[in-house]
Amino acid sequence: MVVDKITDEQLKLSNLRIFSEVQLKKLQEYSILTAEQFVGLCATPEGFSGVMNVLNLSRDGLNKMLYQVKNQLPTKMAAKLSKPTEFSPPLGARKPHKTEKIKSKKRRENST
């Protein structure tokens, strides 16, 4: 099924009729409430295995559920959410220089 437009209400996992009440409750405990959040989280290996554990599903079981959820989303949205996003630190943020790490460690050692 190709979906072009979808409302916020339709994005709620509780309205998709894919998840059991127990599964919805477990996902809600982790603030996963929408199809966007679910698909986005499952896009990374860590997220996928985390959802697998939370819902107590096999890899195949979660893949089938993920396929059903993606079919409820507009094609472009599903494709975009299925790719992990690259994270880059905000402007101005940088990794500490090696000498800064050493100085910081020495300060901690000296303070004890």
pTM for the whole structure: 0.65
Q: How many CA atoms lie within 13 A of 68 on its CB side?
A: 12
Q: Is residue 66 part of a domain?
A: yes
Quote the crossing angle between the two packed helices 59-70 and 45-55, to the nearest 10°.
Answer: 110
pLDDT in tens, 31-67: 999 888 898 888 888 999 999 999 999 999 999 999 9
Give the count of domains, the chain: 1
pLDDT in tens, 67-102: 999 888 877 877 777 776 655 555 555 555 555 555
Q: Is residue 93 part of a domain?
A: yes
The whole domain housing 46 covers 8-111
Q: Is residue 3 part of a domain?
A: no
Per DSSP, what are the bridge partners of residue 34? 12
Q: Is residue 1 part of a domain?
A: no
d(C-alpha 12, C-alpha 29), whole Å: 15
